[in-house]
Structure 1
C-alpha cells in the first residue's frame, strides 16, 4: 500500500498543466492518502497528531515512491505550519543556517515552521547534530525522509528526539489503483492487454512514482493497439530492483538467505540467492556466507557441506559468471537440504568462554612435553599413556588441568553424520569411567 488517492473524480487543476503525471496526481489532503492508513488513519501516529493539532518531529522511513514527500507537505497544511523543504543531497551548512534563521524570525511572528529534509541520511553526523537545538526549542518541527534504515544512518541523539514512522511498500493492488487514477487523469485507457498491465505493475517493484512515469510514457505514445507483455518489454525498460550493496537491503537479503538455509527451505533459499545475484551482488560475498552457514548450521551433521561450499568457490573462480553461478546454486541447495546441527557453533562459544574464565591453568603434567632433561626431571610428561598402544586405541587418560573439572562443550545432535559422532563420544565417556573405576 502507498500514496494513493480517493476514488472521487480528480479536480480539473490536477488534470490540466504540463507537470509530470506523478506530480499532478499528488493528494490534496491527508484524507486522500489511502495507502498509509496505519499512519494517517484515526488510530495512526500521524492521524492522532493531526487530530490533536500538534506535530512532533518525525523520520519517515520507506522505499522510493511511497508518499514521504506528499505526507510531509500535507502535514504542514493540516496543522497550519509554514512549510520549508530542502534536500540533503544539494544542501550544506550555509543552507541550514539560513533555514534556521528564517524559522526563528517566523517563530517571533507567531508562525512555526515544518522543515522537510529529503534524503536526511545523507547529512553527516555533525550536520545532523546541528538540528538538535532548533528541534529542542521548538523553532522547527523536523520531518526527515529516508530510504535507509535510520538505526544505521542517523545520530542516536537525533533519533531520540523524533518518532520513526515506517511507510509501506506499494503492493499490486495499490499500484493497480494508481494506474486507474492515471487513466482518469488522462481521460483515456492504457493500450495494454491484461497480461501486459500486470507486467507493468510488477515492473514498478513497489514504486508508485516510477509506475506513473511509465504510464505517462505509454499515454504520450498514443498507441493504436494494445500491447502484450513482449511488446511492453520491448518498449519500456524494466525497473532495476532496489539493492544497495552497502545498505540495509544488502543485509536483509543475505540474512533471509542464511535463515532460509537454516530452516531447510531450499525453494526460499534459492529465491533469495537469485534476488542477490540478479541485483548484482558480488558472488564471492554470497559464497562466504554459504561457507559460514556450512560450519554454523550444518556442521558435522554433514561434513561434506563445507567441502561443497569450498568446491563451489573453486568452480566459480574457474568458470566465472554466469556459468560458475550454477556451482553457487548447487552449494546453496546442498546446505538447505542437509541435516542441520549448530553443535560445533555452540561448542565454540562455550569453550571460548571457559578459556577466558580459567586464564592460564597448566595442563596436567602427563601431557606436557618434556623437551629438556631438566623438564623431564621435573616430571614433565611423566605417566603419559600413548593411546595407540592402549587396548582399543583408547587410554582414558585425564587431559584437563588438575584445578579444573572436565567440561562438556560439544553436544552432537542425533541427526545425520553427527549421530554417529554422538555414539562415539558416549562410548568413550563410558569407557573412560570404566578405566578410572568410576563406572
Structure 2
C-alpha cells in the first residue's frame, strides 16, 4: 500500500536534518509498517525496538544513563545487529512506554546526530498532557500520520488511472468523464463503510466481505477502549468511552455542534473535559472549532467552547452508528446518515491534507461546515451528501466576507459557476 507518509520520510532523510524523527498517530494507522518499509528500501539494515513488547531488558538499557555511545552498543548487542551510522535505521516503536528512551532523543540530536532514528508513538500526547513525561522540545522533527486518505485508498485498490483522471479534472475544472465519475462515486461510497485503517482496507481487498470488515472495525474500537482503561484513570475511562460511543448521536443532529447533554442529560463540560482531551491526544477523534470571524489568522477568532467532534476514521463512524454497508454503497441510507458520513469524511480528508479544522456560524442560522486558508484567502466549504446543493449559507457568508470563491463538495461533477467551485466528494484530497 502506497502511503503519503513515505514522501515525508524521504524528505527527512535527504533534508540533512540531524534530528530524530517523531512519528505520531493513533494506533492501527500504519506507522510501524511504513517505518519498516521505509527502512527496508533506504537503509542497509533496520534495528526495530518495541517498548511495549519488552518492558524489562529494553527499558533497562535506558535506565543507567543517556549516553548515546553506550546505548547504541547495548542496542546492537540486544538486537544482534550492527548499528552503522547513516546506514542503519533505528526504530523506537511505542516510545511513549519508556520515558527515558524519549528523553534520550535529545542526546542523540546533540551528541550523536550520525544515527538515523525514527520514534513512533501512539499515545505520547496523553503521557505529555498528564505531565508524566518531559518532551525534547526542538530536538526532534515531528510528523503525524492518519488513516489512509481516499487517494491512498484508490492506490490500494489499484485505481492509479482513475486517480490521475480525478487530478486532471481538478486542475482544469472540466467535468470528469461519466465512466470515471460513476466509478469514483461508487468507490467513495465503499470508502465510507471501509474507512482508512490499513488492516481493514487489506481485509476488504482480500475478502470482499463487509461482515469481516465490521469485525475488524470492532476489534479496533475495542482496542481503543482497552487503551483508555490501560492509560487513564477509571473515571476518565468511563467518560471517554461514553463520548466515543455517543459520537454518532452528536453527528446525526441537525446542528452537529458537540453537546454534553447528548452523553447524558446531567452531563456538564467540566466533568468531561479531561476525557475529551484524552481522545484528542490519542488521535482517536478530530476537533473542529468555531471561528467567530472568517479572517486570518483563524486561531485568533476561535470560540473554543463551541466545537464539533468527528471520528478520525469515517469507517469507524459507519460501524459505531450501526449503518448497514449495503445501504451506504447503494446510496439508499437516510438523508441524515448520508450527511453525517459525508461531513466526517471531509473532516478526515482535510486533516490528512494538513488543514486545521474550523467552521463558521452567523448570528442567525447560517452555518458553513468548514473554513480553511488557501494562499491568503479564507475559503468557505459546504458539504452536501447528494447532488441537491441549494443553500443560503454560502450567500450569507459571501455577502459578509466576499471570498475569492467558495467550495461545495457534493456528488455532482466538477464545475465552476457564480464563484462556487463544485468539487465531487471523491476529490477532497486534491485541495
TM-score with structure 1 setting the length: 0.38
More helix by share: 1
Structure of greater Rg = 1
Higher relative contact order (CA 8 A, sep 6+): 2
TM-score, normalised to structure 2, is: 0.38
